[in-house]
Amino acid sequence: MGGISSFIGAIALIGFVIFLIGAATVVLAASQGRRARGGIALAGVGLVIGILFSIVSNGLLFVNVSEIAVITNTLTGNLENPREAGTSVIIPGLQLPTFYPISRQEYTMSANPLEGETTDDDAVEATTVDGQSLRLDVTIFYNINADSLSINEFHRTWSGGQENRWRGFIRSTVRTVVRDVVATFRAADIYGAGRVQMQARINQELEPLLTEAGFTLDTVNVRGLQFSATFVEAIEAAAASEQRAIQARQEAERSRTIAQGERDAAIARAEGEAQSIILRAEAEAESLRLVSEQLAANPLLVQYQYIQTLGPNVRLAIIPSNSPFLFDLESIAANPDFIAPDVPETDLVLPTPTPIPTATPGS
């Protein structure tokens, strides 16, 4: 669209050049006393082309897709229907267009001279509820409310589209809201996870103010928070202390877990040992019970087992005179089935009674 306008403007310029050439021809012919009919015709054609195409060029309104044009009638001062993207015709000198962007706009306030609207330190300074100073970089993204009815109202509100005025409003409003919201938070909260909540509050409180002024808020980004050096040192010290406390709690918990495991293992071993003792005692008791039953049923069983363990080569048994007899000799002798072993007399040694010493008086 801009190319068409430039082309028409170029034709108008050519027409005015032709007019100047024709005028120069007329002057030259007059100075030589010649007739300048050709020069007059050339000048007339050039003038007509220049004026006509100038009118056409000024009468064609080209609006880009990222813009909208407010049309002001210079005679009455009234605002006509705005012109959206495309090409339209206006009356030059009578209808005056004012262009407004409809794409997303940005305004940045930053301490970095390479960012923002100025090369100066433009960060927002604020104070938290607990008296800590804070500097913030803030960027606001917004749109002009550019529908057909609101854009004319926007034009009236901001005095014919003076951009410095409404951008100044954006700047001052954002700074005021940011300071007011920061003043409701503690510095430690903003330093941590509370930053997200703070930014959400800024968006929430800023939106109705911009809507009333003819803007649509997209979002507000808060970044580059700068706290005082003393506060940062205190926060870092507290964080380090908390980390040490967490490690101490973890180590204590680990020690408790190990101790609990060792105690459980000791208890399990003790319970296993006790169960083993019980089982052994029960087995021995059962064994003794069976032995007792067998002995009650066979009184000579012990004597038989003893004789069996003496072995086949034993031919002599010496029984001390002062020791009790293992065998009940009377029972053996009374047993009709008892057969005394054939022992040679030379191998039989009877115990000799041991005399009992007689105590003497005075001993």
In terms of DSSP bridges, do strands 124-127 and 95-101 run parallel, antiparallel, or are they unpaired?
Answer: unpaired
Q: Does the residue 277 lie in any domain?
A: no
Same domain, 146 and 203: yes
State residue 198's pLDDT score: 93
Q: Does the residue 7 lie in any domain?
A: yes
Same domain, 125 and 208: yes
| pTM for the predicted model, two decimal places | 0.54
Backbone phi and psi for residue 315, each to the nearest 5 degrees, phi listed first: -115, -5
Boundary of a domain, candidates 100, 126, 149: 100
Residue 209, domain CATH:
3.30.479.30
Q: Does the residue 295 lie in any domain?
A: no
Backbone phi and psi for residue 237, each to the nearest 5 degrees, phi listed first: -65, -45
**In the numeric block, which tokens belong to residue 75?**
């005679």
**Helix (H) or strand (E) run with residue 167 in it:** helix 163-182
Boundary of a domain, candidates 39, 67, 100: 100
State residue 219's pLDDT score: 92
With CA atoms as reference, report the closest residue to 125 among 112, 115, 106, 138: 138
pLDDT digits (tens, 9 = 90+) for 232-269: 776 666 665 666 667 767 777 877 888 787 788 878 88
Question: Is the distance from CB of 70 to CB of 98 less than 8 angstroms?
Answer: yes
Angle, alpha carbons 151-154-156 (nearest 5°): 115
If one counts every other C-beta atom within 10 angstroms of the C-beta of residue 76, the result is 9
| Residues of the domain holding 168 | 105-227
Question: In the chain, how many domains are there?
Answer: 2
Alpha helices in 35-138 (DSSP H): 37-59
Partnered with residue 105 across adjacent β-strands are 142
Of 338 and 25, more confident: 25
**In the numeric block, which tokens belong to residue 330?**
């009377």
